[in-house]
Structure 1
Amino acid sequence: MPLLAFWESNPDEVSQTSIEQIVAMAGDGNLRDGSLCSDELRQYLTQSDTSKLASYVEHCLSNSFAKGGQVLQDLVNELGRRLDFKVANGRYQGTVNAIGFDGIWLSPEGHTIVAEVKTTDAYRIPLDTIASYRRKLLDSAEIAEPSSILVLVGRQDTGELEAQIRGSRHAWDIRVISVDSLLKLIQLKENSDDSETGRKIRSLLTPMEFTRLDSLVDVMFTTATDVEATIIHSAAEKAETSDVITSKETSTTPSGWEFTDATVLDAKRVKAIEALAKQLGTKFIKKSRALYWDSSHETRVACSVSKRYTKGSYPYWYAYHPQWDEFLGEGSRSFFVLGCMDLNFAYAIPLDILRKNLSALNTTTTERSTYWHIHLSETSNGLIALQLPKSSRQLPLDDFRVPLDQS
C-alpha cells in the first residue's frame, strides 16, 4: 500500500514508525532524484507535525543508515517551510548539467536563501563550490537578489565551520546554523501570535552586521513583546467578567487573576483542530499558536479556546484579530474555530459567514491593534449562539458544530 494511503488509514501505526521505515514504505523504497519514493516522502513530511519532524531529524543524526543524508536534506527543507519560506527542493546528487544546491528558500520579504545541508562539519566544506551554486542560480535567473547562503549543520558544534567561513572571502554571504537551533526558532514562531515575530526570526538566517547591535535587539524586543501581548490578552478575559469555573487546571495569582493552564488550553485547541481535519478529510499543520493550514495552504483555520464563565452575560468569550482575518482570507476554504473547555464539541464558523457578521460585533482598540469581541451565549433551548450586539440578533452555531470524539 502506498505510504500516503497507509498513513490515511493507519495514522497511529505510522506515527510509531521510524523514518527509515517511512522511506521504505514510500514508492519503491529507493530514494533517488525524481522517484515516486521521493515524491511520497516529501508529501508525507509536508503533512507531519513539527514535533514529528524533530524526532526524524534526531534519528538521522543519531543513526547511520542508507540515504540518511538525503532524508535529512528533505527534513531540513520542510523545516524551512515551517518558517513560511517558499521552498524548492534541490537534488540529492549533483549532475553535470544541474546546479547542485540542496534547497532554495524564498522568504515572504523577498530574500532568497540557497540552503546547504550537512550532517556534520567534521570535514572542511568547499565554500567556493557552494558560492558557485548561488552565482549560477543568479546568472540563470532562477533566483534574484537579495540572496545569501545558509549552511545547516546537523550537529550543534559548528566551531570548525564558523572559523572556515570567517577566514574566507565569502564571510559576508554565508551564515551557518545547527538544525537544533533551527527547530528552536520554529518552536518560537509556532508559539507566537504575531506575524512580525516570524519576520524577525527569518531575518536571523540572513547575513547581518553585528558591529551595531540594533537589529539583533529588535528581534529580541519583538519576540518579548509578543509574549507580553499573549499575557495581556489572557488578562483581558478576566476583565470581561468576574468569575470562572475553577479547577486544578486553573491557577490564581496573588493579584487575583485566574488563568487556565496554557497546556490545557493548547490540548483542547489541538483536539478541535484534529476533529475538524478529520471532518474535512485533510491534515493541518501549525503555522502559529492559533493559526493552522493544510499542506496546500488552501484550507486554513484560526482557533481560539475559552473557559466557561459562571457570572456575567456570556459563558464564553473570545477575540478575533485582523491578522487572523487576513490569514484566513488568503485561503480558499477557511474557518474560525471556537473551542469551549467544558464541552466535547467545537464550532467551526466558515469565514464568509463570519465576515458577514463582523459589523454587528463590538470591538476594542489597543496600542497594538483593534480586535472584535466574540461572545457566545446559551439560548432558551440550550443551544449555543454568537451574540451580534450591534444588530440585536444572534447567530445560531449548531450547524457548525464539530464533535471532538469522532469515531
Structure 2
Amino acid sequence: MPLLAFWESNPDEVSQTSIEQIVAMAGDGNLRDGSLCSSELRQYLTQADTSKLASYVEHCLSNSFAKGGQVFQDLVNELGRRLDFKVTNGRYQGTVNAIGFDGIWLSPEGHTIVAEVKTTDAYRIPLDTIASYRRKLLDNSEITEPSSILVLVGRQDTGELEAQIRGSRHAWDIRVISADSLLKLIQLKENSDDSETGRKIRSLLTPMEFTRLDSLVDAMFTTATDVEATIIQSAVEKTDTTDVAASKEPSATPSGWEFTDGAVLDAKRGKAIDALARRLGVKFIKKSRALYWDSAHETRVACSVSKRYTRGSYPYWYAYHPQWNEFLGEGTRSFFLLGCMDQETAYAIPLDVLREHLAALNTTTTERSTYWHIHLSETSSSSIALQLPKTSRQLSLEDFRIPLESS
C-alpha cells in the first residue's frame, strides 16, 4: 500500500514505524530527485507531528542507512516550515544545469535563506561553492535580497566549521546551527502564543552583527517573556474582573489564583484537536500553543480550553484574541474550537458564524490589544450556548458539538 494511503488509514501504525521503513513504503522506495518516493515522503513529513520529526532526525544521525543524508535534508527543510518559512526543497544531487542548493527558506518578513544541510562537519565544506549557489539564485531572480546562507548540521560540535567560516570572505553571509538547536527553537515557537516570538526566533537564523548586542538581547527577552506568560496562562487561571462585572453576581468576586495543571489542559486541547481532525478528515500540525493548521495551511483552528467555574453565571469562560482572528481569516476553512475540562465534547464554531456575533460580545482592552470574551452557559435543556451580552441573546452551540472519543 502506498505510504500516504497507509498513513490515512493507519496513522497509529505509521507513527510507530521507523523512518527507513517509511521511505521504503513511499512510491517505489527509491528516494531520488523527482521520484514518487520523494514526493510522498515530503508530503508525509508535512503532516507528521514535530515530536515525530525530532525522532526521525535522531535516527538519521545515530544510524547509517541508504539515503540517510537525503532523508535528513528533507527533515531539515520540513523543520524550516515549522518556523513558518516558505520552503522550496532543493535537489538531493546536483546536476550540471541545476543550482545545487538544499533548500530555499523565505521568511514572512521577506528574508531569504539558502539552506545547506550536512549530517556532519567531519570534512571541510566548500564555502565558495555554497556562496555561488546564492549568487546564481540572485542572478536568476529565483531569490531576492536580503538573503543569507544557513548551514544546518547534524551535531553541535561545529568548531572546525565555525573556524572555517570565520576565516573566509563569506563570514558575514553564513551562519551555522545544529539540528538539535533548530528543534529547540521550534519547541519555543510552538509553546508560545505571540506571533512576535516567531519573528524574533527567525531573526536568530540570519547574520547579525554582535559588536552591539541589543538585537540578540531583544530576541532572547521577547522569547523568554512570551514563554513565561504562556506557562503562567496554561498553569494559572485567574478570574477576570471584566468577566465578573459582566456576570453581575456579587458571588463572583475574585478570590485569588486557581491552579490547573498545564499538562492536563494541553491533553484536553490535544483530544479536541484530534476530534475535529477526525470530523474534517484532515491532519493538523501545531503552529503555536493554541493555533493549528493542515499542511496546506487552508484548514485552521484556534483552540482554547476552560475549566468549569462554580461561581458566577457562566460555567465556561474564554478569550478570543485578534491575532487568532487574523490567523483564522487567512484560511479557507477555519474554526474556533472550545474545550471544556469536565466534558468529553468540544464545540467547533465556524469562523464566519463567530465573526457574525463578535459585535455582541464584551471586550477587554490591554496595552497590547483588545480581545473578546467568550462566555458559555448551560440552557434549561442541558445544552451549551454562547452568550451574546450586548444583545441579551444567546447562540446554541449544539450544531457545533463534537465528541472527543471516536465512535
Q: TM-score range by the shorter chain?
A: over 0.9
Q: What residue in structure 2 maps to residue 196 of structure 1?
A: 196
Post-superposition shift, 1:365?
Answer: 0.7
Letter in 2 for 1:239: D
Tell me: CA distance 1:362–1:232, structure 2 relative to 1, closer, same or farther (3 Å). farther
| Cα distance in structure 2, aligned partners of 1:145 and 1:120 | 29
Deviates more, 1:284-293 or 1:364-373: 364-373
Q: What residue in structure 1 maps to residue 401 of structure 2?
A: 401
Letter in 1 for 2:10: N
Post-superposition shift, 1:204?
Answer: 0.2
Deviation digits for residues 325-352 of structure 1, max 9, x if unmatched?
Answer: 0000000000000000000010000000
Post-superposition shift, 1:258?
Answer: 1.6
Q: What residue in structure 2 maps to residue 239 of structure 1?
A: 240
Post-superposition shift, 1:232?
Answer: 6.2
Letter in 1 for 2:238: E
Does the CA-based 8 Å contact 1:82-1:287 persist in structure 2?
Answer: yes
Q: What residue in structure 2 maps to residue 133 of structure 1?
A: 133
| TM-score, scaled to structure 2 | 0.95
Does the CA-based 8 Å contact 1:364-1:370 persist in structure 2?
Answer: yes
CA RMSD of aligned residues (A): 1.3
Letter in 2 for 1:340: C
Post-superposition shift, 1:236?
Answer: 6.0
Does the CA-based 8 Å contact 1:175-1:206 persist in structure 2?
Answer: yes
Deviates more, 1:232-241 or 1:316-325: 232-241
Q: What residue in structure 1 maps to residue 12 of structure 2?
A: 12
Aligned partner of residue 212 in structure 1, secondary structure: coil
Q: What residue in structure 2 maps to residue 248 of structure 1?
A: none
Tell me if 1:306 matches 2:293.
no
Q: Give aligned pairs, total.
A: 395
Post-superposition shift, 1:229?
Answer: 3.5
Letter in 1 for 2:344: N
| Cα distance in structure 1, aligned partners of 2:372 and 2:233 | 13
Aligned partner of residue 17 in structure 2, secondary structure: coil
| Cα distance in structure 2, aligned partners of 1:359 and 1:143 | 43
Letter in 2 for 1:237: K
Question: Structure 2 unaligned runs (5+)?
Answer: 245-254
How high is the sequence identity, in percent, across the aligned residues? 88
Post-superposition shift, 1:230?
Answer: 3.0
| Cα distance in structure 2, aligned partners of 1:297 and 1:143 | 23
| Cα distance in structure 1, aligned partners of 2:166 and 2:361 | 56
Aligned partner of residue 258 in structure 1, secondary structure: strand
Post-superposition shift, 1:15?
Answer: 0.8
| Cα distance in structure 1, aligned partners of 2:262 and 2:315 | 19
Post-superposition shift, 1:174?
Answer: 0.1
Deviation digits for residues 141-176 of structure 1, max 9, x if unmatched?
Answer: 000000000000001111111011000000000000
Equivalences for 1:15-26 in 2 at 5 Å?
A: 15-26=15-26
Letter in 2 for 1:264: V
Q: What residue in structure 1 maps to residue 251 of structure 2?
A: none
| Cα distance in structure 2, aligned partners of 1:302 and 1:256 | 28
Equivalences for 1:311-350 in 2 at 5 Å?
A: 311-350=311-350
| Cα distance in structure 2, aligned partners of 1:18 and 1:79 | 18
| Cα distance in structure 2, aligned partners of 1:352 and 1:271 | 24
Question: Structure 1 unaligned runs (5+)?
Answer: 243-254
Post-superposition shift, 1:88?
Answer: 0.2
Q: What residue in structure 2 maps to residue 106 of structure 1?
A: 106
Post-superposition shift, 1:238?
Answer: 2.6
Post-superposition shift, 1:390?
Answer: 0.3
| Cα distance in structure 2, aligned partners of 1:297 and 1:323 | 16
| Cα distance in structure 2, aligned partners of 1:370 and 1:311 | 25
Letter in 2 for 1:238: T
| TM-score, scaled to structure 1 | 0.95
Does the CA-based 8 Å contact 1:237-1:317 persist in structure 2?
Answer: no
| Cα distance in structure 1, aligned partners of 2:225 and 2:63 | 40
Post-superposition shift, 1:256?
Answer: 4.6
Post-superposition shift, 1:228?
Answer: 4.1
Tell me if 1:88 matches 2:63.
no
Q: What residue in structure 1 maps to residue 266 of structure 2?
A: 266
Aligned partner of residue 196 in structure 2, secondary structure: helix
Deviation digits for residues 199-254 of structure 1, max 9, x if unmatched?
Answer: 00000000000110000111112112213433665656333579xxxxxxxxxxxx
Deviation digits for residues 295-321 of structure 1, max 9, x if unmatched?
Answer: 000000000000011111110000000
Letter in 2 for 1:370: T
Letter in 1 for 2:399: D
